[in-house]
Amino acid sequence: MKAVLFRMHGGPDKLSYEDLPTPTIGVEDVLVRVKACALNHLDIWVREGNPAYPMPLPHVSGSDVAGIVEHVGAEVEGIEVGQRVFVSPGISCWRCEACLAGRDNFCRAYGLLGAMTHGGYAEYVKVPFRNVLPIPGNLTFEQAAAFPLVSVTASHMLFALAGLQHGETVLIMGAGSGVGTMAVQMAKLAGARVMTTVGSDDKIPKAVILGADAVINHTKEKVADRVKLLTEGRGVDVVIEHIGPEVWDSSVTSLAKGGRLITCGATTGGDVKLNLRYVFSRQLTIKGSYMGTRAELVKVAELMGQGRLIPVIDRTFPLQQARAAQELMISRRFFGKIVLAV
């Protein structure tokens, strides 16, 4: 099969389009013929080399896959050859206490497709059968690949961790990111007042279409100051962020008393400063989030099938142009998901 792989860690130039043996499946695996694979920032970390993601090389990235079932293992139940499917990116054991409690993202063996195993930058991918789900509604393969990782992340942050209630105000950092496009829609659907940020004016109408009530261009004004004006000095109940140091101060100071800050990433670095007096006197909560549960993904897929949430795609590239696709992601000049068509 054809695949995009890297033999050593480094820049986008390390990606090459080559022949690889088609994976052989185990009794509980499914072989999926990949039709679309969405990019995530994780793909960049994995390519650059990150101690959190050790892996044998060469490696094939890609955590968000949609395609057609090509083969099923002897002990696979409920999945038919020829079915249109998408893949849940979180791989867990389904035997431990966390998995049995439905908290599979707390499994000690938890890993991600395309990081722990070979992913979807390829014509075929091997996945455990419990990770294979039917494509909801009339979604295209590209749309079905564009929502799983970012939507399960956004749902877990907003509802499981922040406990967002209707009528509350939420600030979502980075409307144009994958998580941002999902979080804006979900928070709006849940009845919250939604504020969000962008880095260029052309993204403002796009954020408004997704449901944002207020969009702040962070290159032109101070986010926390604007938030204070919009909330009559009160601040927001919830901040959703994945950017790290670049937005940390505005995230913390935008919170109302009792506010909750949920973070799921660190695209601008890992180290931040925090004034503990500010945290306890304002009774703030700060929580870290990593992916979400399989149950949350099933719920989100239902909403996608009903058209109440929509996958947002910026651009589609052919698989061979994975390097150009990753370079676009690094440039930040996109709104929504970047997808490889296979």
Smallest CA-to-CA distance from 328 within 341, 342, 317, 312 is with 317
Residue written as tokens 């004016």? Answer: 201
The helix/strand/coil state of 57 is coil
Stretch that binds Zn ion, among 68-76, 100-108, 179-187, 250-258 (CB under 5 A): 100-108
Stretch that binds Zn ion, among 40-48, 86-94, 268-276, 300-308 (CB under 5 A): 86-94
Q: Does 204 bind Zn ion (CB under 5 A)?
A: no
Contacts with Zn ion: how many residues (CB under 5 A)? 5
Residue written as tokens 């999926």? Answer: 32
Tokens of 329: 């992601």
Q: Does 116 bind Zn ion (CB under 5 A)?
A: no
How many Å apart are CA 47 and CA 50, to the nearest integer? 8
Residue from 39, 91, 99, 112 binding Zn ion (CB under 5 A): 99
Nearer to Zn ion, 41 or 294 (CB): 294
Q: Does 279 bind Zn ion (CB under 5 A)?
A: no
Residue from 96, 116, 204, 324 binding Zn ion (CB under 5 A): 96
Q: How far is the CB of 290 from Zn ion (least distance, A)?
A: 14
Neighbouring-strand partners of residue 117? 113
Stretch that binds Zn ion, among 102-110, 122-130, 234-242, 281-289 (CB under 5 A): 102-110
Stretch that binds Zn ion, among 14-22, 95-103, 121-129, 273-281 (CB under 5 A): 95-103
Q: How far is the CB of 64 from Zn ion (least distance, A)?
A: 22
Residue from 66, 107, 182, 297 binding Zn ion (CB under 5 A): 107
Determine contact, residues 342/336, Cβ cutoff 8 Å.
no
CA 304, 306, 311: angle at the middle one, nearest 5?
Answer: 25
Helix (H) or strand (E) holding 326: helix 322-331
Helix (H) or strand (E) holding 128: strand 124-128
How many Å apart are CA 123 and CA 18, to the nearest integer? 11
Residue written as tokens 């490696």? Answer: 59
Q: Does 93 bind Zn ion (CB under 5 A)?
A: yes
Smallest CA-to-CA distance from 240 within 294, 314, 159 is with 159
Nearer to Zn ion, 128 or 180 (CB): 128
Nearer to Zn ion, 96 or 208 (CB): 96
Nearer to Zn ion, 107 or 182 (CB): 107
Residue written as tokens 């910026």? Answer: 314
Residue from 40, 88, 92, 263 binding Zn ion (CB under 5 A): 92
Binding site for Zn ion (CB under 5 A): 92-93, 96, 99, 107
